[in-house]
A and B are shown apart, each in its own frame.
Chain A
């Protein structure tokens, strides 16, 4: 989840002196980086231009690297030597969902946000005396700066329209806001559903007793009705 810069700063200050909390945050960042990696791999697969394919692939590699760096540091903060990058992740095929130009605008906005927020985390960890984590964020911030620059250049070169960036950014901002609202709505509906289903379940005691009566558990192998020993192969003679 993307934080507002001010919220990010507050969060950074709250976790910088708490290794376990910091580890959890870094694990979340690792997951987000992996999501970005997938988005860019998919973009590389869809795009026709070999040049842009290479650009997206290169960024995918860097996002993957960032993810591993976050995972590794998270493991160290937890007191372990090795890290176990998460297999599960959320990612969207933005090339298909938004089209290439708007996807680039999304990348620009996302990377810009990352630069601002990660700079805050860098400063917070530096202030807390954790030089290693601070250096990690510093390195990633530098690479994210490039990641935020090239999408704008690409939009300009692909559209030759000086207003394309603004238009695309506005669209993506609205899309992101709608997506956040939709996710919030889904979350609330999900909560309501879970509550409702749990209440329903509580009322199902009589049915559960009936089920145990009419559908008892069966152990072992149950022979199929169709099977007859006459079907046995003659091979063994």
Chain B
């Protein structure tokens, strides 16, 4: 029976995850504590919170596993900056400084920060962590596993075969041939912020047509073997780590979009960017499809698991579900680097003789928010707060009045999606509600849709899909039926799709209760669900975060456990 803590960090999305006796006990991102989005700092708060939740001291840990091999990383950095001579002359000093500052000494830093003996701190491979985070929490005994991201130590793409307690590497693609960097560079070219804007590019794609296939086909070549090849001259061989692409790309597709100009898709300029986005999305889907089919041929497996940043592309995942030939697909909700912490912990646990975890049914692996803290804070801040006997009923009642409600129930989620534990919920019926949420809270670009949460047993009434391993975690999209029982205009994208969450009591009991309450009132078993955070902020974690959100954003009400906070009119 081993207690293993997994750690990811120092690049982006630092996180910690705790596995005890093969059971996932807790997993949390550092940003929920520091309130710095995509926080890269060593996740001390997240790690200590995991341990406090489990009631164990750091000294009791059998192992702490870091999600990447620092020496292999340094080797790749040296080799790639030397290969890039002389263009990498600006990169070299910065890269060396970054490596020598903290990355090389990360295992020592973990030992010192957590007060764990150094001999118990180890590292595993980056893509191995990703693969473990996808396969072991999946419901599959055997599966092909595909990991796709910017780059780990040296690998950018990897195929694996997962079988029981083992993960066997099949094949990999090395830096700088990176699908993740391609998507990130196109994100930057489109005027969005890297790490933040990839989902915006995905949303923008639905407003365009993939008419630049020929041009982008010269940038990203796809082979029948499932392999892809980037023409690196378009990206200046990634020697500019601020921009990520070169003049040749701008000569091909036009100038980079100015990030500060507001979007207007009625203009030819922005329509062009939408068309490029559509083409990028299309070619990326084809690349991922090719790799998935290759994984299928290699393994003969019926199931597929995905991880790495590209796995967060829900539109591509939907296409995989339809066309890859796999029966079932699982994407662990924290598919990015944060999930690496979970994968590392599981790998460490298995290495110490424990079984793999049982299938993940809920992403709620964080801390709860304190109702009493909420009451105290509201009292001192002059906010109107009262305890309610049935929070779900109260929420449903507010939703029926077309109110926008912040909803905090249970443990916060692991990963970038709000799945009913830290959500803003509203009725999905009218565009007016969507526009209101956008103007008072999110201030998003006009092309970005909100997503629906629907009772699992009502899914097929509205969408062309049954609940699946992906719909439970909002990692895929589905098309809405031509005719639906009730209007859901607020949650539909322009192409008639939605990134749906199918809700069950196991996964999100609080949200499920709200949906059931709506049904009892004769209302639709579906609502608008978006994450409880302001623009460019991490999702809310604690009661303090929730109250600060309520002060700063004019939602109508906030429910934290059984405490209802309402705005006094």
> Is B377 in contact with A57, judged by CB distance below 8 angstroms?
yes
A44 CB-CB contact with B under 8 Å: yes
- Which residues from 213 to 229 on chain A have a C-beta closer than 8 Å to any C-beta of chain B? 215, 217-224, 226-227, 229
Beyond A80-B261, A219-B177, whether A208 also contacts B170 by CB under 8 A is no
> Is A233 in contact with B381, judged by CB distance below 8 angstroms?
no
- A227: chain B residues at CB < 8 Å are 161, 168-171, 298
Q: How many residues of B contact A (CB 8 A)?
A: 66
Specify the chain A residue showing the minimal Cβ separation from B544: A44
Specify the chain B residue showing the minimal Cβ separation from A196: B93
Measured in the bound complex, the distance between the Cα atoms of B300 and A126 in whole Å is 73
B487 CB-CB contact with A under 8 Å: no
> Is A224 in contact with B171, judged by CB distance below 8 angstroms?
yes
Q: Which of B82, B86, B170 has the most CB of A within 10 A?
A: B82
Measured in the bound complex, the distance between the Cα atoms of B230 and A219 in whole Å is 9
> Is B93 in contact with A220, judged by CB distance below 8 angstroms?
no
Specify the chain B residue showing the minimal Cβ separation from A190: B97
> Is A87 in contact with B196, judged by CB distance below 8 angstroms?
yes
> Is A221 in contact with B380, judged by CB distance below 8 angstroms?
no
Measured in the bound complex, the distance between the Cα atoms of B299 and A207 in whole Å is 41
> Is B261 in contact with A61, judged by CB distance below 8 angstroms?
no
> Is B544 in contact with A235, judged by CB distance below 8 angstroms?
no
> Is B300 in contact with A197, judged by CB distance below 8 angstroms?
no
Closest CB of chain A to B515's CB: distance in Å? 32
A178 CB-CB contact with B under 8 Å: no
> Is B547 in contact with A57, judged by CB distance below 8 angstroms?
yes
- Which residues from 40 to 87 on chain A have a C-beta closer than 8 Å to any C-beta of chain B? 41-42, 44-45, 50-51, 53-55, 57-58, 60-61, 64-65, 75, 78, 80-87
> Is B302 in contact with A235, judged by CB distance below 8 angstroms?
yes
Which candidate, A116-124, A158-166, A198-206, is the interface stretch facing chain B? Answer: A198-206
- B169: chain A residues at CB < 8 Å are 224, 226-227
Closest CB of chain A to B264's CB: distance in Å? 11
B135 CB-CB contact with A under 8 Å: no
B229 CB-CB contact with A under 8 Å: yes
Closest CB of chain B to A214's CB: distance in Å? 9
Measured in the bound complex, the distance between the Cα atoms of B261 and A86 in whole Å is 15
B548 CB-CB contact with A under 8 Å: yes
> Is A54 in contact with B381, judged by CB distance below 8 angstroms?
yes
Closest CB of chain B to A26's CB: distance in Å? 14
> Is A222 in contact with B174, judged by CB distance below 8 angstroms?
yes
> Is B260 in contact with A235, judged by CB distance below 8 angstroms?
no
A150 CB-CB contact with B under 8 Å: no
> Is B443 in contact with A82, judged by CB distance below 8 angstroms?
yes
Specify the chain B residue showing the minimal Cβ separation from A60: B548
Query: For the side of the interface on A, what is the size category?
Result: 35 or more
Measured in the bound complex, the distance between the Cα atoms of B229 and A224 in whole Å is 19
Beyond A38-B36, A85-B536, A204-B82, whether A231 also contacts B196 by CB under 8 A is no
Which candidate, B182-190, B219-227, B425-433, B455-463, is the interface stretch facing chain A? Answer: B219-227
> Is B172 in contact with A224, judged by CB distance below 8 angstroms?
yes
- A193: chain B residues at CB < 8 Å are 93, 97
Contact with B along A86-114 (1 / 0, CB 8 A): 11010100000000000000000000000
> Is A219 in contact with B97, judged by CB distance below 8 angstroms?
no
- B542: chain A residues at CB < 8 Å are 45
Measured in the bound complex, the distance between the Cα atoms of B377 and A65 in whole Å is 19
- Which residues from 155 to 181 on chain B have a C-beta closer than 8 Å to any C-beta of chain A? 157, 159, 161, 163, 168-174, 176-177
B89 CB-CB contact with A under 8 Å: yes
- B301: chain A residues at CB < 8 Å are 233, 235
Beyond A87-B37, A87-B196, A231-B161, whether A194 also contacts B300 by CB under 8 A is no
- B157: chain A residues at CB < 8 Å are 221
B552 CB-CB contact with A under 8 Å: yes
Closest CB of chain B to A13's CB: distance in Å? 26
- B302: chain A residues at CB < 8 Å are 233, 235-236
Specify the chain A residue showing the minimal Cβ separation from B85: A208
B522 CB-CB contact with A under 8 Å: no
> Is A198 in contact with B85, judged by CB distance below 8 angstroms?
no
> Is A197 in contact with B377, judged by CB distance below 8 angstroms?
no
> Is B174 in contact with A218, judged by CB distance below 8 angstroms?
yes
Beyond A220-B223, A222-B174, A233-B299, whether A212 also contacts B294 by CB under 8 A is no
A184 CB-CB contact with B under 8 Å: no
B96 CB-CB contact with A under 8 Å: yes
A2 CB-CB contact with B under 8 Å: no
Measured in the bound complex, the distance between the Cα atoms of B171 and A223 in whole Å is 4
- B193: chain A residues at CB < 8 Å are 84, 87
Specify the chain B residue showing the minimal Cβ separation from A81: B262
Measured in the bound complex, the distance between the Cα atoms of B522 and A208 in whole Å is 71
> Is B171 in contact with A89, judged by CB distance below 8 angstroms?
no
Q: Which of B176, B259, B262, B545 has a CB less than 8 Å from the CB of A217? A: B176
- B226: chain A residues at CB < 8 Å are 221
> Is B299 in contact with A197, judged by CB distance below 8 angstroms?
no
> Is B142 in contact with A235, judged by CB distance below 8 angstroms?
yes
Beyond A221-B157, A226-B168, whether A233 also contacts B300 by CB under 8 A is yes
Beyond A220-B225, A222-B174, whether A234 also contacts B300 by CB under 8 A is yes
- B548: chain A residues at CB < 8 Å are 41, 57, 60-61, 64
- Which residues from 216 to 260 on chain B have a C-beta closer than 8 Å to any C-beta of chain A? 223, 225-227, 229, 259-260
A188 CB-CB contact with B under 8 Å: no
Beyond A82-B262, A197-B92, A220-B223, whether A215 also contacts B79 by CB under 8 A is yes
- Which residues from 120 to 173 on chain B have a C-beta closer than 8 Å to any C-beta of chain A? 142, 157, 159, 161, 163, 168-173
Measured in the bound complex, the distance between the Cα atoms of B196 and A86 in whole Å is 12
- Which residues from 14 to 60 on chain B have a C-beta closer than 8 Å to any C-beta of chain A? 33-38
Closest CB of chain B to A71's CB: distance in Å? 10
Specify the chain B residue showing the minimal Cβ separation from A75: B260
Measured in the bound complex, the distance between the Cα atoms of B300 and A138 in whole Å is 69
Measured in the bound complex, the distance between the Cα atoms of B85 and A227 in whole Å is 35
Measured in the bound complex, the distance between the Cα atoms of B381 and A61 in whole Å is 11
Specify the chain A residue showing the minimal Cβ separation from B93: A197
B520 CB-CB contact with A under 8 Å: no
| 22 A-B pairs in the complex with CB atoms less than 8 angstroms apart | A41-B35, A45-B544, A50-B376, A50-B379, A58-B551, A65-B552, A78-B260, A81-B262, A87-B38, A87-B193, A197-B97, A201-B93, A208-B82, A211-B79, A212-B83, A218-B174, A223-B171, A226-B169, A227-B169, A232-B299, A233-B161, A236-B302
Residue positions of A touching B, CB distance < 8 A: 38, 41-42, 44-45, 50-51, 53-55, 57-58, 60-61, 64-65, 75, 78, 80-87, 89, 91, 190, 193-194, 197-198, 201-202, 204-205, 207-208, 211-212, 215, 217-224, 226-227, 229, 231-236
- Having A57-B377, A83-B260, A190-B97, one finds 18 other A-B pairs with CB under 8 Å, namely A38-B35, A50-B379, A57-B381, A57-B544, A64-B548, A64-B552, A65-B552, A197-B97, A201-B88, A211-B79, A218-B174, A220-B223, A221-B225, A224-B172, A227-B171, A234-B300, A235-B142, A236-B300
